[in-house]
Chain A
C-alpha cells in the first residue's frame, strides 16, 4: 500500500519550483516567468491565494532557507493588487506546528466529549471512568483508510446507501470538493453531501437560480469601483471583505460623488464611510426592497428593453405595489425620510451595485431577500453591466468552487441541475457511475442532527468545518454526533470542537501545505499552492477521499495529483456543453465551461502549476433569460417577535420596540432593574477573526481586537438590566429545545439539567452562553450582537450556535442566524481572573479546572451546592446547578496564552484564591513532566519555583510559576550556546522561564495588564533575579527600578547602586542628604564612611 501514499517531498518540491508572473487573465504558460527558483539555500517566493474570505486575494509567500514563511499581497493578483487585510497579513503566523493535527487516530469520543464539557458544578466527572483507557489511539494511514472503507461498505450493506453523509466545507479546494461530490453522489449513490456553504451562501445560490436559472454572479469586482452608488445590504464589508471595501473607497476618494449606502440593523464600521445608513429592523429587507421596486415603477425607472427577456415582471410589481414608503417605514422601523433618500439615490443612479452578504443570506427569508434585491436590478436593467449589478459577496474562500462542483445536497455539478434528469444522466455518464444519480435532494446541514438521531444517517464524515460550533442548535448536533455509529472528522487543527466528537480523526493538510484551486466571488479561479511540506502525516483531502473510495472498490479515484482532478472537472464543465443541445431546466445556456476559458482543455502538471488566475464566464454575464420573483412577505417581520414575553412600558417609541410585545408578564424586578431582558440576537464576524478561530486564533495580533466573548447591547437595554461594560451576562435561548427523553432524564439526573442520550448513555450538557457586556449606541434597542467565532476551544461557554433555533429558509435551507430570540440575565461574578500560561500548559490547566469542579461537587451536599449559588436569585427560573462553575476564554498572545476567567460561585472562587489549589496544579504538572521525561537529554535538570501574594480578606491572589533549567548539554556544545544565548551568558547559569502567571481579584480593574507579562515568557531571565517574583507578581517592573548592587547599609538594606543613584541623579552631596533620599546610614551609622567615599567618587 505504501506506494499509493504520496511522496510529499517530490510533489511539494515540484510545485514549489514554480512562481509565475502574469498580467492578463488567460492561462498562457509560455508567458510565465520564474520569480525565484526554489533551492535549499535561497528564499523562494510562491504565488498563492489567501484562505479566508471570498475575495480571494493573491498572496506572495516567501519561504526562507530555514522554512520560515512571510507573506505579502500579490501586486499582480486582480482581486487585491498587492493589498492584504489584517487576517491575510498574519497568515505566516498561523503556519507553525502549534495546535495541529499531525497523525490519524482513533478516539474514545464519549470520554473525550465528557472531558470537554463546560466546567459546571453539575458535572459528574466520574460518570465514565476514563482513567485507565487512553482517550485516543494513534494509527497509520494504511490501517485507518482500510478500516474506513470497510466500515462504510458495511454501513451501506446494513443500512443502505442513504445512511452515509458527508459534511464538507468552503475551506476545501475545488479538487477536494469535486472528489467528495463525485464520491458520494456518483458512487455511494446518495445526495447526502452538504457544505458549510449552507450556512453562508445557499440563499444566494437559490436566489440566483430562481432569477437566472443557474447560480450565476453577473458582475465582478471592477463594478464596485466603476459604480456611482454602492448599496451594502447585510454586509459589514469594512470588516468582512476589507480589500474589496478598500477598492471602493479608493475609487470614491478619486471621485467623491460616488455614494455609499449601508443597510444594516447595526451601525457597523462600514457605516463610517457611508453617505446614508438605514438601520432597519432585522429581517425587514424584503419590505424595503418591495418598496424600492414599487418606487422605481412609480418613478418610471424601468428598462423596457431588458424587461423583454424577463418573466413574471407583473407578478412582482403586483406584490410590491402596496409597499408605500410609509408602510415600509413602519415595517422596517426607520424614518420614511431615510427610506425616501435611499430610493431616490437608487432611482437616480444607473450605475448601482447592490452588494449583499450574510445579513441577507442567513435568514429564513434569505432567498426572498436575494430576489427582492435582484428584482430591483432586473427592473432597471442593471445586471451584468459595467458598474451596475447585484453582487453576492461570498463568505468563504472557496464557497464558489463548492457551488461550481455542486457539493451541496440540492446541487449536482458544474452548475447542472439536480432536479433535471438529463443533467443527472449527463453527470452519471461522465463519471461512469455504477448507478444513476438519485433525484432527491439529500440531507442538508440543518437536518443532519435529526437524520442522525432518527437513525437515517449511520456514518458521517465531516471535513474542514466545525459544525458543533456553527450550526443552529449546535448542542443538538453535538448530541447527534455522540449518538452516531461512525463519525469521521478530517481537519488540520486540534482546536476544532468537532474533532472532539469524532471516532476517527484524520489529519488534513492546512493552508500552505495543500495545493489546488479556489474560486472567488467574481468567478475568478486562482491557484492555492503549497509553500512547505505537510506537517506530520497530514494529507490533502482529495487524497484521503480517493484512497477510501479506491479501497471501497470504486473505480475512477486513482488520482495522483490535483491537476488530474482539475482536468476531469474542466472536462465535465465542457461535457456535452452545447446550449442548444442541453439547456438547463430554465433554458439558460451553460455558462460554466472552463474548457472555453482555458487555452487548452487538458493541462499537464506543469501547466497546472503555472496556471494564472482567470475568470470563467467572461468578465460579466449578461443573462439570456431572467425571472422576477414576487415577494410576499408576511407582516410579522421576524421570528423573535413570536417569542417576546416581556412588556416594555417605558418604550413608547413604536419604531424602537419591535422586539417586544406588550403582555402582562414581567420578569421579577431586581434592584429596580429587570432580572432578564428579552432581546434579538444578531451574530456576525469580528474584524480580525475567521470562523472558529482555529487559524486566526494562533496569530497574537489578531486576538487584540477582542480577546474575550462580548455581547454588544444598546445602552438602554444595558441600563434596564443594570449591567455595565465588562459585566458578565448569561444568554438564554427562547426556543423549545427538543431534548430526547426529557422526562426520563429528569428522573435519572435530577440535579444537573443535563441531557443523556438514551442510546449511548452519554451525558451531553446543554451549554449556557456567557459573555461580557459591551455597550454601543450603534445597536438598535432590543438587539444584541455576539460574534460567531467562539468555540469550546477558546471559551468555556460562548458558542452562539447553541442559542439559535433551527429555522431555515424554505428555498435555500439556509438557517436564520442573525435573528434569534434570546433573553439575557446578569451573572454577578465572585472573582475575576487572568492567567497567562505557557502554551504547553494550556490544556493541562483546563483539565485541572475540570477536576476541581468535579471534586467540588463530590464534596458537597445538595444543600451546600444550593448555598454555593446563594448570591443568585434562586426564585428566578434559572436552574442553579447548570450555572458555570468557571467561565474562561483563551486568547493567544505573542509568547503565552491569556486566559480570562470569572466564577459566579463563592466556593469556587475561594478555591481559586487558595495558593494550595495552585500548588496542587504544580504537583500535577511536575508529575506529568517527569512522566514524559520532558526532554531527551537526561542532563537537563528541571526545577519549578512558585511565589504568590495573597490579600485577605480582599480576596486577591497572585501566583507565579517558573521553571529553572540547568542545561549542562550546553557546555558540551558551545556552538549551539553561541547561537541560542546572548554571548555574555554562562552556560551553567540556571536559566529560568515563566510558565504561569495567575491573578485573581474581586474586580477586573484590580488585575494587571498582560503586555509586559507576556514578554516575560521568553525573557524571564531579563528580570533581575532578586526582583523577579515581585515583578511578575506585580505584573510590571518597578518604576525607577535600580539594581541595588552590593549592600552598603545593611540596617536599611540599601545597595551601592541606590546610593550612587542618589548621588548622581538626586544630587545628594552629603551622607545626610543620602540618608534623606534612601535611608542609607540612618540607623547605626557604620556605613557612613563608605557612603562618603562613594560621594567623593561619584559626585561631580
Chain B
C-alpha cells in the first residue's frame, strides 16, 4: 500500500518565498501538495510545517516543501464561525484559523483562488485550472464538502440558498436586513444556527423540519423541547414533521413559499436549504481513486492510490463521514504523524511505529447559537432493545431550563445531552471517548467533574492513551506556538 518512492527528489527546489504570488509563479517541485485550504487543509499545512521544524530545528531545509492550494480566495478560515458572522456577532476577519503571515513564515507555498483540474496518479502530478502542472511526492486531498441540495421541484428558483461559504453569508444577511420572510429547510445544527442568526438580523424565520423534533440526531426529546421553546422565544417559527413537497415560485421563478405534503403552503421570500453536506469527491473519483460517498481512506488517511492521502469532510472511513471539527483535527494529527518525516516514512516499518492511527470516536456537538447552550455527545438515541440496557441520570432545573441527561450502559458513559448549561460537556465527552468504567463515580457523575474523583476510574486499555497521549500533545503544541507567536 505504501510503495517505495526511490527518489529523494533531486529536482525539487525548496520554495521559501516571502510572497505567495511569486511562489505561485515559480516552477514547483515534487513536495507535499495539499488540495483544499479549508479547516482541514490549512490546519494540516501549518501543523505539518511546525512538526517538520520541531523534528529537525537545526536544519529546516531538509523537508519536503509544502504547497497549499485553495479554491476560495480566503485561505484557512473557520467555517463554524460563519454563524456568528451571519448573526453579526463576529466579523469575517475573526474567523481565520491562523495569521496569514504564518504560512509564509513556515515556508508554505499558498496558491489561492486556483482549483485543481486533474490528478495524474501515475506521474504523481496535478494540473491546475490555470494550466500549470505540479508534481508531488505526497498529495493530500482536503476538498471538503458542499452543502447538500435536495432537488425539490423549483429548487433552482431565485431565492433558494445554502449556508456554506462567505458568499452565502453576504446574500442571506442582505435578506435579513430587509426584514424578509425566510424558511430554513432542515432543523439540524446548521439550519437552526442560520435561522436564529437571520432572525436576529431582522428576518422573519421559520424552520421546517422533517422529523418530530429538531436536532433529533443529537438531542433527546426533553432537550429538544427546551430548545424549541427557546426558538419560539426568539421568534423563530417551527414546523416539525413537515415534509416539503415543492418550492413555490412566482412567475419570475422567484421563491414565494413552500408547499408541504399536508397541503399547506408556507409563504417565504427566500429559502435556505440546510439539509447536510455531500463530500467533494469529483476530483478524486475522476482521477481513479476509490470513492463511495467519500474518498475511501484507511486509518492512516491513505487513499487507494500510492502517495495520495485525504483528510477532512471529503473522506470516508469504514462507511463513516466526518463533519465535525474534532475528528477532522484528529485526522490532521494522524496525517502529520505519517508525513512529518516524509523521507523516512517511505521506509515503512521503522517509522510506522510513530504513526498515530485515526479511529472514529463518538462525536460531541456544541450548538453555536449565541445564548443557547446545548451539547450532545455519544449515543443519545436508542431503539427499544437498546433502551432496556440503558441507565439514565437526569438533572433538571425547571425555572431556568437547565437539563442534563447522561446515558450509561454497563457502567460506561455512552452519551450525554446537556441543555442550558454545558460546562461539563468536555468532561463527559472525554469519559465517553475513553470508554472508562465510571462505576466508582456514578453517584456523583451528574454533578460534574468537580465531584468526581477521576483517580478512582480506570479506562479500558484500548482507549487508554486517549486521556493523555502524544497525539494530544501534538494537537496542543500547535496552539502553543500560535500563542507564542502572537
Pairwise interchain contact B396-A947, C-beta atoms closer than 8 A: yes
For B421, the chain A residues whose CB sits under 8 A away are 1026
A1055–B57 CA distance with the chains assembled, in angstroms: 35
Q: Across the interface, do B477 and A1072 meet the contact criterion of CB distance under 8 Å?
A: yes
Query: Are B476 and A953 in touch, CB under 8 angstroms?
Result: no
- How many of A's residues come within 8 Å of B, CB to CB? 46
A1086 contact set on B, CB distance < 8 A: 78
| Distance (whole angstroms) from the CB of A943 to the closest CB of chain B | 7
Contact A1084 B447 (CB under 8 A): no
* Contact (Cβ within 8 A) B394 A1088: no
Q: How far is the CB of B214 from chain A (nearest CB, A)?
A: 22
Q: With a CB–CB cut-off of 8 A, which chain A residues contact B476?
A: 1071-1072, 1075-1076, 1081-1082
- Check B423 against A1044 for contact (C-beta < 8 Å): yes
Task: From the candidates A1006, A1029, A1030, A1089, name the one contacting B482 in the complex (CB within 8 A).
Answer: A1089
Stretch at the interface among B283-291, B298-306, B397-405: B397-405
Q: Is the pair A947, B398 in contact by a Cβ cutoff of 8 Å?
A: yes
Check if A951 sits within 8 Å of B392, measured CB to CB: yes
Contact of B426 among A952, A1030, A1079 (CB under 8 A): A1079
Min CB–CB distance B75 → chain A (angstroms) = 17
Query: For residue B482, which residue of chain A has the nearest CB?
Result: A1088
Within 8 Å of chain A (Cβ to Cβ): is B120?
no
Which of A945, A950, A1082, A1092 sits near B397, CB closer than 8 Å? A945
Residues in B with CB closer than 8 Å to A946 are: 397-399
Residues of A with C-beta under 8 A to B446:
949, 951, 1033
Residue of B nearest to A1075 (CB): B476
Chain A proximity of B267: nearest CB distance (Å): 37
Residues of A within 8 A of B479 (CB): 1071-1072, 1075, 1081-1082, 1085, 1088
Tell me if A556 counts as interface (CB < 8 A to partner B): no
Name the distance in Å between A634's Cβ and chain B's nearest Cβ. Answer: 58
For residue B450, CB closer than 8 A to chain A, the reply is yes
Residues of chain A lying within 8 A (CB to CB) of residue B326 = 1083
Q: Residue of A at shortest CB range from B478? A: A1085
Name the interface residues of B434-471: CB closer than 8 Å to any CB of A.
443-444, 446-448, 450-451, 453, 468
Which residue of B has the minimal Cβ distance to A1041? B450
Instruction: Verify B391–A951 contact, CB threshold 8 A.
Output: yes
**Chain B nearest CB, measured from A326 CB (Å):** 59
8 A Cβ contacts from B100-154 to A: none
A441 interface residue per 8 A CB criterion = no
Contacts of A1053 in B (CB 8 A): 422-426
B115 to A: closest C-beta gap in Å: 27
Q: Does A41 contact B (CB under 8 A)?
A: no
- B483:A1006 contact, CB within 8 angstroms: no
Are the C-beta atoms of B451 and A1038 separated by less than 8 Å?
yes
Q: How far is the CB of B271 from chain A (nearest CB, A)?
A: 30
Q: How many A-B residue pairs have CB under 8 A?
A: 122
Distance of A915 Cα from B394 Cα, bound (Å): 11
Please indicate which of the listed interface residues A943, A1089, A1091 has the most CB atoms of chain B within 10 Å of its own CB: A1089
CA distance A1039 to B472 in the complex (A): 27
Task: Establish whether residues A951 and B393, one from each chain, have CB atoms under 8 Å apart when the complex forms.
Answer: yes
The answer to whether B423 touches A1038, judged by C-beta atoms less than 8 angstroms apart, is no
Q: Which residues of chain B have C-beta atoms less than 8 A from A952's C-beta?
A: 391-394
Q: Output the nearest chain B residue to A1074 by Cβ-Cβ distance.
A: B476
Task: List chain A residues, Cβ under 8 A from B451.
Answer: 1030, 1034, 1036, 1038-1039
CB contact list, A1054-1094 vs B, under 8 A: 1070-1072, 1075-1076, 1079, 1081-1086, 1088-1089, 1091-1092
Known contacts A945-B399, A950-B394: A1088-B366 contact under CB 8 Å: no
A1051 at the interface (CB under 8 A from B): yes
B171 within 8 Å of A (CB atoms): no
Q: Does A954 contact B (CB under 8 A)?
A: yes
How many Å lie between the Cα of A1056 and that of B472 in the bound state? 22
Q: Is the CB of B399 within 8 A of A1039?
A: no
Give every chain A residue within 8 A of B468 (Cβ-Cβ). Answer: 1076
Asked if A559 is at the interface of the complex by the 8 Å CB criterion, the answer is no
Cα A947 to Cα B482 with chains together (Å): 42
* Contact A947/B395 with A1051-B366, A1084-B325 known, Cβ cut-off 8 Å: yes
Say yes or no: is A1052 at the interface (Cβ < 8 Å to chain B). yes
Closest approach, in angstroms, between the C-beta of B327 and any C-beta of chain A? 12
Q: Does A948 contact B (CB under 8 A)?
A: yes
Q: A1072-B479, A1089-B482 are in contact. Are A1030 and B392 (CB under 8 A)?
A: no
B245 nearest CB across to chain A (Å): 39
Asked whether any CB of chain B lies closer than 8 Å to the CB of A1040, the reply is yes
Interface centre among B80, B325, B483 (most CB of A within 10 A): B483
Q: Which of B424, B430, B475, B480 has the most CB of A within 10 A?
A: B480
Contacting residues, chain B, for A944 (C-beta < 8 A): 399
Known A-B contacts A1038-B447, A1040-B450, A1071-B476; A1085 and B399 likewise in contact (beta carbons under 8 Å): no
Q: Bound complex: CA of A1026 vs CA of B443, how far in Å?
A: 21
Q: Mark A651-671, 1 if CB is under 8 A from B, else 0.
A: 000000000000000000000
Give the distance in Å from the alpha carbon of A1006 to the alpha carbon of B393 in the complex. Answer: 15
How far is the CB of A46 from the nearest CB of chain B, in Å? 50
Q: Which residues of B contact A1082 (CB under 8 A)?
A: 472, 475-476, 479
Q: What 1/0 flags go to A318-356 for Cβ under 8 Å of B?
A: 000000000000000000000000000000000000000
| A1089–B443 CB distance below 8 A | no
**B473 touches A (CB below 8 Å):** yes
Task: Determine if A945 and B396 form an interchain contact, defined as CB atoms under 8 angstroms apart.
Answer: no
- Which residues of B are found within 8 Å of A943, using beta-carbon distances? 399
**Is B59 among interface residues, defined by CB-CB distance under 8 A?**
no
In the complex, chain A residues whose CB is within 8 Å of the CB of B395: 947-949, 1030, 1033
Write out the residue numbers on chain A whose beta carbons fall within 8 Å of the beta carbon of B484.
1092
Greatest chain A CB density within 10 A among B325, B399, B475 is at: B399
Residue of chain A at shortest CB distance from B373:
A1053
A1089-B477 contact, Cβ under 8 Å, with A947-B402, A954-B391: no
Q: Once the chains are docked, how many angstroms separate the CA of A1081 from the CA of B483? A: 10
Report the Cα distance A1026→B97, complex, angstroms: 32
- Contact indicator A1091/B483 (Cβ below 8 Å): yes
Q: Does B251 contact A (CB under 8 A)?
A: no
| Those of A74-131 within 8 Å (CB) of chain B | none
Report the separation of the CA atoms of residues A1034 and B424 in the bound assembly, to the nearest whole angstrom: 15
Chain B's nearest CB lies how many Å from the CB of A631? 61
B290: min CB distance to chain A, Å = 32
On chain B, the residues within 8 Å of A949 by CB distance are: 393-396, 446-447
A1040 and B397 CA atoms in complex are apart in Å by 24
* Among B424, B426, B453, residue most surrounded by chain A Cβ atoms (within 10 Å): B426
B486 CB within 8 Å of chain A: yes
In the bound complex, residues from chain A placing their C-beta under 8 Å from that of B325 are 1083-1084
| Cβ contacts under 8 Å, B97 to chain A | 1085
Q: Which of B80, B447, B482 contacts A1034 (CB 8 A)?
A: B447
**Chain A, range 925-954, C-beta contacts under 8 Å to B:** 943-954
Assembly CA distance A1034 to B446 (angstroms): 9
**CB within 8 Å of A: which of B323-346?**
325-326
User: Closest Cβ of chain B: how far from A1053's Cβ, in Å?
Assistant: 4
**Complex Cα spacing A1084 to B478, Å:** 11
Bound complex: CA A944 to CA B398 (Å): 10
| One of B391, B393, B397 near A947 (C-beta < 8 A) | B397
Tell whether, in the assembled complex, residue A1052 and residue B483 are in contact, meaning their CB atoms are under 8 Å apart: no
Whole-angstrom distance between the alpha carbons of A1071 and B475 in the complex? Answer: 12
B-chain residues with CB within 8 Å of residue A1071 when the two chains form the complex: 476, 479-480, 483
Known: A1072-B473, A1072-B477. A1030 touches B399 (CB 8 A): no
- Given contacts A946-B398, A1053-B423, list 18 more A-B pairs with CB under 8 A: A946-B399, A947-B397, A948-B396, A950-B392, A951-B393, A952-B394, A1038-B450, A1040-B450, A1044-B423, A1053-B426, A1071-B476, A1072-B476, A1081-B483, A1082-B479, A1083-B326, A1084-B78, A1085-B478, A1086-B78
Going nearest first, the 3 A-B pairs with the smallest beta carbon separation are A1038-B450, A947-B397, A1092-B483
14 A-B interface contacts by CB (under 8 A): A945-B399, A948-B394, A949-B394, A950-B396, A1026-B421, A1034-B447, A1036-B451, A1053-B426, A1071-B480, A1072-B476, A1072-B479, A1076-B472, A1079-B430, A1085-B97
